[in-house]
């Protein structure tokens, strides 16, 4: 039986973290407007959050804090990933021929790899789930951790359901090549901006 207070604590902290959109959220919004199946997008968003939250609570957050070199390596890997996919999104935003036209939903295999990679390896997602939610959850009593994790995952589910449902309501009016190029510009801005911020923070931390 879950402890209600720990469940509410996880839910409130999760909402506070997830309601600030990051690169993954912008990418999921783009895929929803492009006609990707809603349940698939929600499953990827919530499933990746649940996996990272579990890893953090099970001790990955503590392990990374004790191994700064590994933490830095993981962060630079994530920065590289953000730069690559941010550059691709910028290329799409600047190239009219690359913007999808309204029509049937894209094939399931098309474009899923960037979404999966950014859901699981995005350093912003790691900071939110592993290092923030995971650290708080790991500090709780063992009996309270399951309820806390459930509350945090419930917040993720609520957020992605609202995001994808909202995109579905406006898709008919917004799924145009111009809108998709604007969304690609938003994806590029989010990813490249996050990469620049993290790289600057790492440089500042390494400076004497």
**pLDDT tens-place string over residues 42-93:** 999 999 999 999 988 887 766 766 667 766 776 777 777 778 777 877 887 8
What would the mean pLDDT of 117-131 be, rounded to a whole number? Answer: 80
Q: Looking at the 3D structure of the chain, how many domains does it have?
A: 1
Alpha carbon 121 to chain centroid, angstroms: 9
Neighbours of 5 (CB within 10 A): 12
Q: How confident is the model at residue 101 (pLDDT cuts 50, 70, 90)?
A: very low
pLDDT of amino acid 163: 92
The structure tokens listed for 16 are 């506070």
% the chain with pLDDT above 70: 82
Range of the domain at 158: 4-206
What backbone phi and psi angles, to 5 degrees, belong to 195?
A: -60, -45
Convert 31-65 to b/e letters by CB count within 10 Å (16 or more is b): bbbbbbebebbbebbbbbbbebbbbbbeebbeebe
Q: DSSP H helical segments within the chain, as ranges?
A: 4-18, 23-33, 38-55, 61-65, 68-94, 112-121, 123-126, 134-138, 142-174, 177-206
d(CA 86, CA 91): 9
Task: Find out whether 133 and 14 touch, Cβ atoms under 8 Å.
Answer: yes
Report the distance separating Cα 164 and Cα 22, nearest Å.
15
Rounded distance, CA 196 to CA 88, Å?
Answer: 16
Give the 3-state secondary structure of residue 107: coil
- Give 102's pLDDT tier (boundaries 50, 70, 90): very low
């Amino acid at each position: 039986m879950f402890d209600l207070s720990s469940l509410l604590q996880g839910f409130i902290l999760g909402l506070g973290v997830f309601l600030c959109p990051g690169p993954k959220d912008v990418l999921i919004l783009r895929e929803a407007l492009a006609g990707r199946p809603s349940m698939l997008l929600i499953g990827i968003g919530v499933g990746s959050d649940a996996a990272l939250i579990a890893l953090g609570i099970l001790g990955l957050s503590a392990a990374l804090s004790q191994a700064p070199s590994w933490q830095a390596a993981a962060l630079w890997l994530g920065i590289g990933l953000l730069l690559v996919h941010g550059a691709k999104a910028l290329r799409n935003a600047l190239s009219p021929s690359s913007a999808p036209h309204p029509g049937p939903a894209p094939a399931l295999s098309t474009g899923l790899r960037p979404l999966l990679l950014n859901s699981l390896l995005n350093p912003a997602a790691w900071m939110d789930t592993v290092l923030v939610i995971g650290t708080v959850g790991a500090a709780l009593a063992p009996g309270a951790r399951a309820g806390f994790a459930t509350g945090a995952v419930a917040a993720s589910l609520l957020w992605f359901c609202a995001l994808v449902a909202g995109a579905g309501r406006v898709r008919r009016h917004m799924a145009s090549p111009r809108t998709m190029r604007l969304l690609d510009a938003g994806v590029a801005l989010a990813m490249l901006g996050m990469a620049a911020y993290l790289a600057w923070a790492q440089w500042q931390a390494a400076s004497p």
